[in-house]
Structure 1
Amino acid sequence: LEVTDPAKQTDASALNHNSLLTKIPVLLNEFVVDAIMIIARLTVNSNMSKCNNSFCVLILFCQRNSLPPICTHNVVEDSNDQVLNQIRRCSLFNNRHDRVKIVFHPEFLNSTNPLFALDYEDFVRGCHLGVFPSYYEPWGYTPAECTVMGIPSITTNLSGFGCFMNDHIVDPKSYGIYIVDRRFKSPEESVRELAQVTQHT
């Protein structure tokens, strides 16, 4: 006759339960990928010959007929949001032919963010260039933060930081800080200068 200790039985079942819980995300992930592969095969048979790996199939499956959204959030009273209204005024809706694509993220970045899962510093370090062509800004920390993190940045001589760099630093470009003239140039000339700076950074 085998006698089992109920406490040990509970521990064993809890261990099995916990190990199953750790496997669920993996199993779900495999299930989702398999489901996507099956659906993709059914819906994009004509493209399957060009596409042999699952990543390519996943891209084909995720394609949409509508335009990609310009904002990562559903903004409350978005008709009153100045940034979104400016984007609409410029007709930047992420059309295929738009030379500028918009991803507006109206929230501070931190590691608990479900979209990026990055702290602000890590996000900045992952960028190639910080562009801050302010028409007015009392100081403006963002170009300075880019510089501290080793990322070149563009600012203007209408921001406090840009004016400070012009007045106190002999060659701001040597520090990776490019200052576009918005004070004494027309908007068209400023845009042209900004385009030239971005080509050389």
Structure 2
Amino acid sequence: MSAASRILVARGKNEPQELENPDVGWGQRARDGVWVPTKDGQRIHIGIDVTAADTVAQVIRPTFRAFIGVDVDTDMLAQTTSSGIRLLTVIHGPDAPEEYRFPFTLADGLALEAMPSGGYDVVHLRYGATVGRLYSPWACDSMFRQVKADYVLDGNVVTMRVKHEGAYYPVVADPMYSL
């Protein structure tokens, strides 16, 4: 069983179920990112801005793909869920970066709004309704110890920061978007 699988199993039954979702459209390469739906029927694009952005996804099954070696000591596992996506970031060693960038392209009338939890809501500006959510990231090492992870927003680019110094590798960080 892979380290990422062990960590997900240890997190319990509240994990989102991996399901085929026809409204989610993955690009072929990491830089192509993913198109995801919002509650109001629009679509937004979440990019994956990494050093090896031309890395082609290895499609494990229609709802699960692996981007191997997208950065130094880093892989990303992309999972489609019933209501969105997960971008499991697997950090293999101390030379891996501490920041991972996810540019958001939002439809007209939508904006990212910071939440007290550390995540971001996609908000419909006219109605004030939340139509999507980027949940606050969690991260842990191979000993299941919590690793500090948070987001920083610059324009429409969400940067996930993972402070993995002193951790037992691999470290898994989990940005997740859902309706």
Structure that is richer in helix per residue: 1
Structure 1 length normalisation: TM-score? 0.21
Name the larger-Rg structure: 1
Q: Which has the higher contact order (CA 8 A, sep 6+)?
A: 2
Structure 2 length normalisation: TM-score? 0.23
Structure that is richer in strand per residue: 2
